[in-house]
Amino acid sequence: MSMFESRRLLRVLRRTVVQAVPTVLGIVVLNFLLLQLAPGDAADVMAGESGAATEEGMAMLRRQFGIDLPLLQQLMAYLGNLARLSLGFSPRYGMPVGELISQRLPSTLMLMGLALVIALAVGIALGTAMAMTAGRWPDRVISVISLIFYSVPGFWIGLMLIVLFSVKLGWLPSGGQETIGGGLAGFDMVADRLKHMILPATSLALFYVAIYSRLTRAAVLEVASQDYVRTASAKGLSPLSVTVRHILRNALLPVTTLAGIHLGGILGGAVVVETVYSWPGLGRLAFESVMRRDFNVLLGVLLLSSLLVILANTLIDLLQAWLDPRIEVR
Amino acid sequence: MAIVELAPEAPVVAPAVGTWRALRAFLRNPAAVIATLFLLLVTLIAIAAPLIYPEDPLSMVARPFLWPGQNPKFPLGSDSLGRDVAAGLVWGARISLVIGIAAMALGVTIGIVVGATAGYFGGRIDDALVRLIEIFQTTPSFLMLVVLVAIAEPRVESITVAIALVTWPTIARLVRAEFRSLREKDFVTAARGLGYGHARIIFIEILPNALPPIIVTSSVIVASAILMESALSFMGLGDPNRISWGSMIGAGREMLRTAWYLTLIPGIAIVLTVLALNLIGDALNDALNPRLSAER
């Protein structure tokens, strides 16, 4: 990379970061205020669960959690914590929020990663097949299938996959992240983990298979009408070679860069899919902390997921700026 | 784009696409016609629910765990509490359609107001609104939805508002882009020259020209609102006093191993309804963008 080029990329990076800081701050403040509107707090939920609680006991809990302070003071305390890179403490789980999240994050990221890989691989394959048979029956059949994928609720297809592959066929586990008490190690452990991931990742991926197949179809048709593709065909290259080496290469860039945009959506979908498969991830943690009014955890998860989305967008900006020197200022 | 003569009361410009031609193109698409008929049927069933199944769909009326076809009085069977699955399906259609359409209407209205303001005025207002849109779009929308509904107590109204709150940014982005490209057009300059106010230019002159993509997106938004509502009720965040397709799946999930029809049947209702809406969205897109459909 030349000196000039890296300086250009640095400028793009600086611009993105400068834009991201107020967005993140806005998100934190907005989420914080939003959660204050919720009826009930962690002390109420804990009192409700224990069945008996005195006014003094509740007041003590609130003082302990720091939720008896005035709103602005709580917000300042939270922002102060953030400035020291701390997400606060979860009274319910009895550990720092950062630690709690970092325990759950890897399994969610793995699930999302596999889902994204499945979505891109299947979506691009289907989309290319559609474009190559545009207007004929394979195109129509696949486009109906992809529209069905687009219309299926992820949690429902998840349950139906469990019925078929776990209950009826007994091929794959119906939930969890690994065989409990299996005592597996090495390759067996990896295979076991993978087996547990197939169904949830597929449920999560189907919706995006639909999106990517349609995007690929459009992108391939667009590129196929370019002059250099006609040239490649005219010089006698086989249709397959033209498709793979000349069309797909150029059509895939817009498709794969879009994958980053869907990160937020996939994360949201993970909340539901993790519920179906009792997957110990971030989505499940978010849902539990909503129900328990454990707002420190919830704020942490919300902030982290926003940061993930921003990070993905930044990487895409950089990738595009690197590939296309004309992009500099939006 | 055809510019008609400047009659003082008429909008300065005719709709960009011939409405009749678009309608004819839509009706020539067999999938779209079938989807429309299906949706009409679902709507009729939803409206007529109190006539078809007068009693509360949450009440026990049959022996628990009747399989579909086992008892002709309960063609789709009964669940673990002896509730009629067919009645649940019929009443659930009401919730899905009401929330889907109301959330779309609210979300599209907010999106149009914000997007039009940002795109039409530009400058600082635009910067501020774009930042607001970004804040909303950076938080994963389903996560946001769960938080909003849990905060507001799950009821039909709060679920509707919450879904609208996570969908408006999509429309706002779209409307903003349309307005940015339309505001420099001759007919807008002409309208300004005639001394029309901002509100009139935005809503009567520009908005009709920006409608085709908004209409297409709206049908997809109804579909995704129905999906979101079903996911919320599946997770137990639906209105506890109303039966919905998602809550039926959530309840049936406990018996997935033995009575999987309880999960299958409401899911098929969701898939067919959402599929119909997406087919209509596709057909509208083709009908309203003749250039694109010619390329197909």
Q: What is the mean pLDDT of residues A140-146?
A: 90
Q: What is the mean pLDDT of residues A132-146?
A: 88
The reply to whether B195 falls in a domain is: yes
Closest residue of chain A to B141, computed from CA coordinates: A268
| Contact with chain B for residue A152, Cβ under 8 A | yes
Q: Select from A37, A152, A271 the Cβ nearest to the Cβ of B151.
A: A37
Closest residue of chain A to B275, computed from CA coordinates: A151
Closest residue of chain B to A38, computed from CA coordinates: B151
Q: Is the per-residue pLDDT at A128 higher than 70?
A: yes
Give contacts of B244 with chain A, Cβ < 8 Å.
Answer: none
| Contact with chain B for residue A170, Cβ under 8 A | no
What does the pLDDT read at residue A132?
85
**Given an 8 Å threshold on Cβ–Cβ distance, is A265 in contact with B253?**
no
Residue B258 domain boundaries:
29-49+78-289
Closest residue of chain A to B130, computed from CA coordinates: A23
For B168, the token pair is 């408006």
**Given an 8 Å threshold on Cβ–Cβ distance, is B249 in contact with A134?**
no
Contact A300, A101 (CB under 8 A): yes
What is the percent of chain A with per-residue pLDDT over 90, rounded to a whole number?
Answer: 13
What does the pLDDT read at residue A78?
80
Q: Select from A26, A147, A153 the Cβ nearest to the Cβ of B267.
A: A153
Q: What is the mean pLDDT of residues A131-137?
A: 85
- C-alpha distances (whole Å) from B184 to each of B120, B201, B289 are 10, 12, 21
Residues near A75 by Cβ (< 8 Å), separated by ≥ 6?
A: A29, A32, A33
Write b or e for each residue in B217-235: b if 16 or more Cβ atoms lie within 10 A of its Cβ, otherwise e: bbbbbbbbbbbbbbbbbbb
What does the pLDDT read at residue B162?
93
pLDDT tens digits, one per residue of A44-56 = 666 666 666 677 7
Contact A210, A153 (CB under 8 A): no
Give contacts of B227 with chain A, Cβ < 8 Å.
Answer: 151, 153
Question: Is ipTM over 0.85?
Answer: no
The CATH label, of 3.30.230.10, 1.10.3720.10, 3.40.1010.20, 3.10.180.10, for the domain at A103-323 is 1.10.3720.10
For A290, the token pair is 């909503």
- Across A1-5, A139-143, B213-217, B232-236, least confident range: A1-5
Q: Select from B150, B253, B296 the Cβ nearest to the Cβ of A159.
A: B253
Q: Is the per-residue pLDDT at A312 higher than 90?
A: no
Contact B61, B83 (CB under 8 A): yes
What does the pLDDT read at residue A42?
66
What does the pLDDT read at residue A65?
65
**Given an 8 Å threshold on Cβ–Cβ distance, is A283 in contact with B143?**
yes
Interface test mutation site (partner B, options A156, A166, A275, A284, max chain B beta carbons within 10 A):
A156
pLDDT tens digits, one per residue of A256-284 = 667 767 887 888 888 889 988 888 888 88
What does the pLDDT read at residue B2?
35
Interface test mutation site (partner A, options B39, B42, B129, B147, max chain A beta carbons within 10 A):
B147
For B173, the token pair is 């982005």
Contact B187, B201 (CB under 8 A): no
The reply to whether B141 falls in a domain is: yes
How much is the mean pLDDT over chain A?
81
Give contacts of A30 with chain B, Cβ < 8 Å.
Answer: 135
| Contact with chain B for residue A183, Cβ under 8 A | no
Interface test mutation site (partner B, options A148, A150, A164, max chain B beta carbons within 10 A):
A150
pLDDT tens digits, one per residue of A149-190 = 999 999 999 999 988 888 888 788 877 777 776 666 777 778
What does the pLDDT read at residue A47?
67
Q: What does pLDDT average to in each consecutive run of 10 residues of chain B (296 residues)? A: 36 54 82 91 90 79 74 76 82 92 95 92 89 86 87 88 92 90 85 85 86 87 93 89 89 84 91 93 81 43
**Given an 8 Å threshold on Cβ–Cβ distance, is A287 in contact with B235?**
yes
Restricting to A residues 201-240, those with a Cβ less than 8 Å away from any Cβ of B are: 221
What does the pLDDT read at residue B69?
74
**Given an 8 Å threshold on Cβ–Cβ distance, is A153 in contact with B137?**
no
Total tally of structural domains belonging to chain B: 1
